[in-house]
Amino acid sequence: MKKMLPDMKRRRLLTAAGLTTIGAVGWGLKPSADGAPHNPYFQRLSAALKRHGMATPTLVIDRQAMLANAKTILGHIDNRMQLRLVVKSLPSLPLLDVLRHQTKTDRLMLFSLPQLQKTAHGKCDILLGKPMPIAAAAEFYRGNPSSDFVPDKQLQWLIDSPERLAQYRDLARGQNLQCLVNFEIDVGLHRGGINSQRMLQDMLAILKSEPRLRLSGLMGYDAHITKIPNLPGLQTQAREHARALYASYASTVLAALGNDGMSKYGGAPTFNAAGSPTYRLYDGKGIENELSVGSAMLKASDFDTPLLADLVPAVFIATPVLKTPEQFMMPFGVEWTGNAARMWDANQRKSYFIYGGNWLADPCSPSGLHPSGLYGTSSNQQVLLGSGAQQLRVDDIVFFRPRQSEAVLLQFGDIAVFDGENISEMWAPMPATA
Ligand SMILES: Cc1ncc(COP(=O)(O)O)c(C=O)c1O
């Protein structure tokens, strides 16, 4: 008994010391307050939007930033290959006009029938970026393409299989059409397309049996190269594999048809490759003679990659703050969870309810705002939390950075174009259809 007391004392002492240490370590992990009001750029953008009378969530494109990106991208390509603009990622005709003018390209890549119908006018060279069901192709011809657009020369349908090629052959025969077709080749992405020389030969046989069909080139998309894990050598291997496959399919079609047999009207065949994530991997020494780029022009946050580090964000969502409660509170019944969150994390002290939300986007200004992990999200009035250092008041503006441009540009009605001082134009987006 005599011996036990000191033992118990020692144990208690140890427990107390342990708890104190855990407490101290825990306190050390406690998040410290961060965040700040808008920086001068977003102050200027806020002021411009307010002067313009922004009333509801608005998509904003910074024209100078976008043009700077276009210039940088052209510099990267350096006339070694042609540029093709990816319309699905830049889905607004006035926006496309500006970029076509700036980059001096009439080459466009399309992915949807409604966008094709809107775009197929005047001087342009259209390549489909995905195979269209034959019903969509038939619908395009039924819709009477505009008189200043000649599909026989300006439109390359993408064909991924012998079966689809046979469907296009039957359409061309049935309606006495001349159709340009471009073959999709699988260079490692495994999203369909030609995956063997045998398959390519089968398709060449169908092609040669129908003079109404003409092969204009190949399309090999390689987005996997920068998406697979960057284990030593793996991305380089994927890149060399894609390049070698492209070269071998291209030499087969060139041997079968010759350069002249494939050119559309005197020009070179279309050997299309790449996209925003990978266009920088091409130096023009391979057979690929044109690169597709869309998203990189606006640089949504999914494109914050090392290869695109010298491009700048040019697209934002702006939305008004509707409510700024004294402090972040969880709903009745579970209020204690909000109290605990506030006590633990200084960046959950303050809540801001915004107009709209739940977009494919993340808050970017003022800094230090984030969605709540506790309070459910909302497309109607999303709550954002912060330390309060943001100093937001009702009717101030919060900015988000979209993660992609493709879907987000279609969601907000007319796009506000920021020229550095003012909102100088509004650009209509394309209709939100698939
Ligand atoms: C065939 C093809 N080419 C290029 C691209 C690249 O588009 P972006 O430059 O917008 O990433 C895509 C994107 O999905 C694609 O499917």
pLDDT of residue 29: 84
| Distance between Cα 243 and ligand 1 center (Å) | 17
Query: Which residue minimizes the CA distance to atom 4 of ligand 1?
Result: 275
| Distance between Cα 50 and ligand 1 center (Å) | 35
* Contact between residue 94 and residue 122 where contact means Cβ atoms under 8 Å apart: no
Ligand 1 atom closest to 276 (CA): 9
Ligand 1 atom closest to 295 (CA): 10
Crossing angle, helix 197-208 and helix 162-175, to 10 degrees?
10
Cis peptide before 6 (omega within 30 of 0): no
Query: Which residue minimizes the CA distance to atom 7 of ligand 1?
Result: 275
| Distance between Cα 340 and ligand 1 center (Å) | 45
| Distance between Cα 293 and ligand 1 center (Å) | 7
Whole-number CA gyration radius for the chain? 28
pLDDT of residue 4: 45
386 dihedral zone (left: phi>0; alpha: psi -120 to 50; beta): beta
pLDDT of residue 295: 98
pTM of the entire structure? 0.93
| Distance between Cα 202 and ligand 1 center (Å) | 27
| Distance between Cα 292 and ligand 1 center (Å) | 7
Q: Which residue has the tokens 């250092």?
A: 389
Ligand 1 atom closest to 293 (CA): 9
How far is 248 from 239, CA to CA, in rounded Å?
A: 14
**Which of 81, 90, 190, 276 has most ligand 1 atoms within 8 Å of its beta carbon, as the pocket-test mutant?**
276
- Cβ(221) – ligand 1 distance below 6 Å: yes
Ligand 1 atom closest to 88 (CA): 10
Q: How many CA atoms lie within 13 A of 185 on its CB side?
A: 31
| Distance between Cα 146 and ligand 1 center (Å) | 26
- Cβ(292) – ligand 1 distance below 6 Å: yes
* Contact between residue 272 and residue 292 where contact means Cβ atoms under 8 Å apart: yes
pLDDT of residue 395: 98
| Distance between Cα 127 and ligand 1 center (Å) | 12
Question: Residue 405 carries which DSSP code?
Answer: S
Query: Which residue minimizes the CA distance to atom 14 of ligand 1?
Result: 275
Tell which residue, 117, 96, 84, 107, has the closest CA to residue 433. 117
Q: Which residue has the tokens 């089968």?
A: 202
Average pLDDT per block of 10 residues along the chain, 434 residues long:
51 54 63 96 98 97 98 98 98 98 98 96 97 98 87 96 98 96 98 98 97 96 94 93 98 91 79 98 97 98 97 98 97 96 96 98 98 96 98 98 97 98 98 88
**Which of 84, 86, 112, 219 has most ligand 1 atoms within 8 Å of its beta carbon, as the pocket-test mutant?**
86
* Contact between residue 334 and residue 312 where contact means Cβ atoms under 8 Å apart: no
pLDDT of residue 2: 44
| Distance between Cα 111 and ligand 1 center (Å) | 9
* Contact between residue 73 and residue 86 where contact means Cβ atoms under 8 Å apart: no
pLDDT of residue 70: 98
Q: Which domains does the chain have, with CATH numbers?
A: 40-57+313-427 (2.40.37), 63-297 (3.20.20.10)
- Cβ(294) – ligand 1 distance below 6 Å: yes
Inter-CA distances, 398 with 101, 139, 422, 424, Å: 32, 43, 17, 20
Q: Which segments of 30-90 does DSSP mark as H helices, in order?
A: 40-52, 63-77
How far is 18 from 23, CA to CA, in rounded Å?
A: 8
Write down the number of H helices and E strands in the chain: 12, 17
| Distance between Cα 274 and ligand 1 center (Å) | 7
